[in-house]
Amino acid sequence: MIKKILVIHGPNLNLLGEREPGIYGDMSIDVLNSNIVDRAKAQGLECEIFQSNHEGAIIDKLHSARKEFDGVIINAGAYTHYSYAIRDAIAAIKIPCIEVHISNVFARDEFRSKSVIGPVCRGSISGFGFESYYLAVQALAEM
């Protein structure tokens, strides 16, 4: 049973609320994080949140997650489309990971429709705004 989850926000997500609000909304990352933690608590889960703009830091966090967490929610941002290193880290840790995206990546630039991490994740949720994260929390709670 999943009890402790890690949420990883990748590059540029620290600018939520400022960055392209027409695509990503006007909620700050701090408000989003608070909402995620509240949703996790309501599902009986402990939740830690991590954000980095650096690929290696995300990989290091994934590696350490295998001993601390029961599941991971990851929005790898642009790394989704080309980071085989993050893909390999997800495959290596052997705990359920759910890929999330705020926007519908399939309705945007063509390069965004390919995810190299998706095939090693338990599932992918995109296009529901911040609800994508909340749906992922619910999915992990029900695993």
Query: String of b and e for 100-137 (b: at least 16 CB within 10 Å)?
Result: bbbbebeeeeeebeebbbbebbbebbbebbbebbbbbb
**3-class DSSP state for residue 14?**
helix
Q: Which residue out of 9, 79, 101, 134 is catalytically annotated? A: 101
Q: Is 101 a catalytic residue?
A: yes
Q: Which of 24, 79, 133, 134 is catalytic?
A: 24
In the structure encoding, which two tokens stand for residue 74, read together? 């990851």
- Is residue 63 annotated as a catalytic residue, yes or no? no
Catalytic residues: 24, 101
